[in-house]
Amino acid sequence: MHQKQTFNMCYNSKHTTKVNLLSGLTKKFIGLQFMKSLSLSFKVSINQQKNIMLAYTYLQKGKFGLREKPKPKITDARDAIVRVTLGSICTSDLHIKHGSVPRAVPGITVGHEMVGIVEEVGTNVTSVKPGDRVSVNVETFCGKCFFCHRGYVNNCTDPNGGWALGCRIDGGQAEYVRVPYAEQGLNRIPDTVSDEQALFVGDVLATGFWATRISEITEEDTVLIIGAGPTGICTLLCSILKNPKHIIVCEKSPERVRFIREHYPDILITTPDNCKEFVLENSDHGGADVVLEVAGTEDSFRMAWECARPNAIVTIVALYDKPLIFPLPDMYGKNLIFKTGGVDGCDCAEILRLIEEGKIDTTPLITHRFALNEIEEAYRVFENKLDGVIKIAIY
């Protein structure tokens, strides 16, 4: 485990620089880590320094980089500016890096998993105020369109609706972030809930919560979860809330199998090479009643429908790097119901309540911690699945 200390850059808003000219002699301001030639017109203003921040940026396909950017400003009465106190890296960020998300805009600040403190709000924002600790929903949504009114906020038809943060507009792997539609997109964190406890509320935990809800899990069901990565584990935690008869997790990584056994000893575990037989042995009707596919590979997709009983629900939670072929002739006779479980941000307040009540705890997922200026190393560890990494917290 890497324990990293928070790093405060010398241009942080708490630091100011003032240069005075006296009798033609230049006074050097003590504490500066660089030297600059001075002229009568040279002056470093406090406002300039306050408006600079670090931001991890999508430069081009295959390349992210840490850059200085202007601090975001309110551009709409429904906006809020949040000072990011804790962020994380999501597999979706890697999809952007490798060009698998065509709608992602080069030049944007990446990152959509974050919590922080509200610094400023637009005139139409009343649900939060400056100083509030908040979780940030990955989905931005207007709250007024056809889909928002029906709870499908990830399909919001507004130009800034859906997955915008860290994809089409600047996200949260930075010191500050502008959150559109803050009235819907921010939820105040209860005083008894820590930043680390709330870190995954707006994305992977909301994904698992939404996926298990649309999967219609009952107490008689055998539930199969394929993949025990961060989203798979969050899906597991939300499935446990439904109290099904059996939950089976299929995972090939020995480290993640050990993680599940250590933290969730009552969960049944199998591996891909034995999954179909294991599910048959531990279900009542020839397969799983509900399958949640969270691994995102061609093989895991095939395994999902093969392990499902006839008339089962198969929920596709994962994102895929390439199109898949549906083997409809093989699937047709099983009368399967396929659903997609794209993340939705409408349940975040309820999720925070469940965390406050001790019914969900995602803190064991945080295996590594890095400062923002060390984010390149954090990505290297996460992308290459080094050192038993599950999730990384960025301070």
157-173 per-position pLDDT tens digit: 988 888 889 999 999 99
Name the more confident of 153 and 353: 353
Q: Which residues contact 78 (CB under 8 A, 6 or more apart)?
A: 122, 124, 125, 180, 181, 182, 183
Q: Is the pLDDT of residue 30 over 80?
A: no
- Distance, CA of 310 to CA of 289 (rounded, Å): 8
Q: Give the residue from 367, 363, 361 showing the smallest Cα distance to 381.
A: 367
Structure tokens at 149: 């009114």
The beta strands (E) that lie in 218-364 are given as 222-226, 246-250, 268-270, 288-293, 308-316, 337-340
Q: How confident is the model at residue 50 (pLDDT cuts 50, 70, 90)?
A: low
pLDDT of 183: 92
Q: What is the dihedral of CA 73, 74, 79, 80, to 10 degrees?
A: 60
- Write down the CATH number for the domain with range 207-340: 3.40.50.720
Q: Which of 1-15, 98-112, 309-323, 348-362 has the lowest mean pLDDT?
A: 1-15
Q: What is the mean pLDDT of the chain?
A: 86
Name the more confident of 59 and 23: 59
- Distance, CA of 153 to CA of 139 (rounded, Å): 7
Reported as a single tens digit per residue, the pLDDT across 78-111 is: 999 999 999 999 988 999 999 888 889 999 999 9
- Distance, CA of 317 to CA of 301 (rounded, Å): 10
- Distance, CA of 348 to CA of 209 (rounded, Å): 9
Reported as a single tens digit per residue, the pLDDT across 237-268 is: 999 999 999 999 999 999 999 999 999 999 99
Structure tokens at 309: 């009983």
Q: Are strands 222-226 and 246-250 parallel, antiparallel or unpaired?
A: parallel
Q: Give the residue from 40, 115, 43, 47 showing the smallest Cα distance to 82.
A: 115
Domain coordinates of the chain in residue numbers?
49-203+345-394, 207-340
Of all residues in the chain, what percent carry a pLDDT higher than 90?
A: 71
- Distance, CA of 121 to CA of 71 (rounded, Å): 15
Q: Which residues contact 102 (CB under 8 A, 6 or more apart)?
A: none
Q: What is 49-203+345-394's CATH superfamily?
A: Medium-chain alcohol dehydrogenases, catalytic domain (3.90.180.10)
Mean local confidence (pLDDT), 10-17: 35
The percent helix, strand, coil of the chain (3-state, each to 5) is: 30, 25, 45
The beta strands (E) that lie in 72-175 are given as 80-88, 113-121, 133-136, 139-140, 162-163
SS3 97: helix
Q: Give the residue from 136, 146, 77 showing the smallest Cα distance to 352.
A: 136
